[in-house]
Chain A
Amino acid sequence: MSWFNFSWQNFLFSFLALSFEGLPFVLYGSLLSGLIAAFVPSKVITGILPNNRILATLASGLLGILFPVCECGIVPVIRRLLNKGLPLSCAVTFMLASPIVNPIVAFSTFAAFRGQSPTLVMLTRIVIGYIVAVLVGLIAGTRKPEEILRSGVVGTPARKRLAFSLAPFIDNPKAGGLKEKSIGAIRLACEDFLDTSLYFILGAAVAATFNTAVDQQVILPLASSNTLSTAALMLFSAVLTLCSTSDAFIAATFASFPMVARIAFMVFGPMFDLKLFFLYSVLFKKRFVGSLAIGLFFIIGIICSLLLPFLYASYGF
């Protein structure tokens, strides 16, 4: 029997199942992001951070709980916050943590892994995501902003060119009526959804092909090693470019792989993938973006393939 046996019937069935399960969550995430953009002033975000840089970085990793923004929507938010004087370490931490440390992702992870220790998986994902984001944020904070950020990102006059858009609502919450804000929120959500769902559908198609056409016996040797499987799934997540609100549904189907590898998939993917490479390049210099990719790959790889199995074994999981 060949290792690859593609069938349209199986592909369509699996593809539709993934789409029906994941697309609602992509929509809900986009809608919430749009509502926050329309109704929550950005000064609320900067105002709640402590003055101490380390404490502020630690707190930034938790901002996603209050302001759940997925990785697709985080870059313009970060750009706006950097403009308003948010420290670089806080911005990087918020950017990396928010797609993971937020209630929507926690809920979708719990839902996707139901029956597979969902609480443990959800907490592990959030804790590792938080630790990695803070670590990278603190490291980034040791560098001068001009070494990392592209020229013109800070202090750009763009934000002063206020069109009648959602941004003025953020800076001036009294501007615009409820109806206008709601329409703006829905439009922003629709734009975010259309951008994000393109990648989700492509990811679902690749996952459906993988799950139905590939003889699972073939990948067992790869899946039997924590290190190999973790590295493989992290690379896979970078290629799939899934949204963090729905990637757990894809990860949950990789039953042949160890749980630690699937957690690495769900931590690395929201922090770095092909789509984010282009989005990050809007803010950061290419050299930093490349370093970020390599650094995240090794930090998450070491935590998930070496430390996590040890911790799980220690606590009897």
Chain B
Amino acid sequence: MRATVSRVGNAVTLIGLGLVLLSFYFTGRLDHYLHPQFRPYTLIAGFAFCFAGLVYGFVRSNVNCCVDGECLHSQAANPVRSLIACSVVLLPLVAGATFSRDGYDQQVVMNRGFVQDVNTLPIRSDISKANPPIPGSALGADIDETASANPADAPNAVPNATPATAGANAGPSNDEGSAQYLPIAPDGNIALEVTDLLYGESEESLRQLFADKTVEVIGQYLPGSGADQFKLVRMFIVCCAADARPLAVTVQAPAAMIASADMAWVRVIGRPEYTKNGDKSHVILKASKVEPTDPPAEAMLY
């Protein structure tokens, strides 16, 4: 009887785990937590947990896990162990699934600090090539050339180049022809990510490309140092949300325009301005409009 109760309890734990994983996958909540590369593993594991739980708990067999007297799982038939497993493994996940808001508050941003140099972010080449924030053609590449998420990897971009060199190699970066390949938002503005503006700090070709353009950037609001400033934050992840690192662009806007809750999603329309400070450039987005918006489909940047 004890063994049966324990077996059914363990099976419930395993099936419960599977259902939690599957519900996160099929409701799309998993997108907030994991890099796309890891999501299929979670889906497969969800089904595997359910299958293993059903076999473990409800398929009749005389097969035990180990040799009698040498079994490492000495408490396998103990209902208390089953209860502990359920309490420690399943309940926290169910509680988390119920109460999690699928995002961080500003405290994590403050604890982790902003990434100072966007070029130090780990980006894998195949992912970069699959989802370039700026089309390679906009950076001067041929149409059929593969673009890169890191502009430093772009065919005609020259990392750490002097402006003159970069200008010479950037090809049509000032050309209207290249600008037409920039992603356009529904209202006609150029849709950029926070990372694009930050890459511009080290890329002359991007700075030229963005010059005098009205851009639209979505991010999370965080109060700035002054009344007319705030930080537009995005979290960058490599594997999962646990390793998320905050990226931010300073936004300058009339104080009356800034009225958002901390870490609320906002859409900022404005013009990026790059100012030189020694060898480094620093971007400030001069906003003409700041408005609340829904979170993007992918809340994290990769």
Contact = CB atoms under 8 A, between A and B. Distances in A.
A100 interface: no
Nearest to B82: A194
Interface residues of A, number: 76
B66 A25 contact: no
A73 B242 CA distance: 28
Contact of A183 (B10, B30, B32, B55): B55
Contact of A13 (B30, B63, B101): B101
Interface in A236-259: 249, 252-253, 255
Contacts of B64: 163-166, 184, 187
A252 B89 contact: no
A181 B64 CA distance: 10
B2 interface: no
A194 to B, nearest CB: 5
Contacts of B95: 12
A191 to B, nearest CB: 4
A210 to B, nearest CB: 10
Given A17-B34, A31-B48, A10 B239 contact: no
Q: Helix, strand, loop or mixed for chain B's interface?
A: helix
Contacts, number: 221
Interface of A: 1, 5, 7-10, 12-21, 23-25, 27-28, 31, 73, 75-76, 79-80, 111-112, 114-116, 158-159, 161-168, 176, 180-181, 183-184, 186-195, 197-198, 201-202, 205, 207-208, 211-217, 249, 252-253, 255, 279
Please name the 4 residue pairs, one residue from A and one from B, whose CB atoms are nearest each other, closest first. Answer: A115-B122, A24-B45, A184-B63, A167-B67
Given A166-B63, A212-B111, A21 B101 contact: no
Interface residues of B, number: 70
Interface string B108-120: 1011110000000
Nearest to A199: B88
B61 interface: yes
A213 B123 CA distance: 26
Contact of A17 (B37, B62, B67, B240): B240
Given A187-B55, A195-B72, 15 more contacts: A9-B105, A13-B101, A13-B103, A13-B241, A17-B242, A21-B42, A24-B21, A76-B66, A80-B67, A115-B238, A116-B238, A191-B73, A194-B89, A249-B242, A253-B242
Given A9-B100, A198-B88, A27 B239 contact: no
B65 A21 contact: no
Given A165-B63, A211-B242, A198 B85 contact: yes
B176 interface: no
B17 interface: yes
Contacts of A23: 17, 21, 45
A262 to B, nearest CB: 12
Most buried by A among B30, B45, B243: B243
Nearest to B98: A12
Most chain A CB neighbours (cut-off 10 Å) among B64, B102, B239: B239
Nearest to A165: B64
B97 interface: yes
B13 interface: yes
Given A24-B44, A198-B84, A183 B63 contact: yes
B65 A165 contact: yes
B52 A115 contact: no
Contacts of B100: 9, 12-13, 16
A6 B10 CA distance: 32
A114 B238 contact: yes
29 contacts: A10-B107, A12-B99, A12-B101, A17-B33, A20-B30, A20-B33, A21-B34, A23-B45, A27-B48, A27-B52, A28-B45, A111-B239, A114-B124, A115-B123, A158-B68, A163-B64, A167-B67, A168-B67, A183-B59, A187-B61, A188-B65, A188-B66, A190-B56, A197-B85, A207-B242, A211-B243, A214-B111, A215-B110, A253-B243
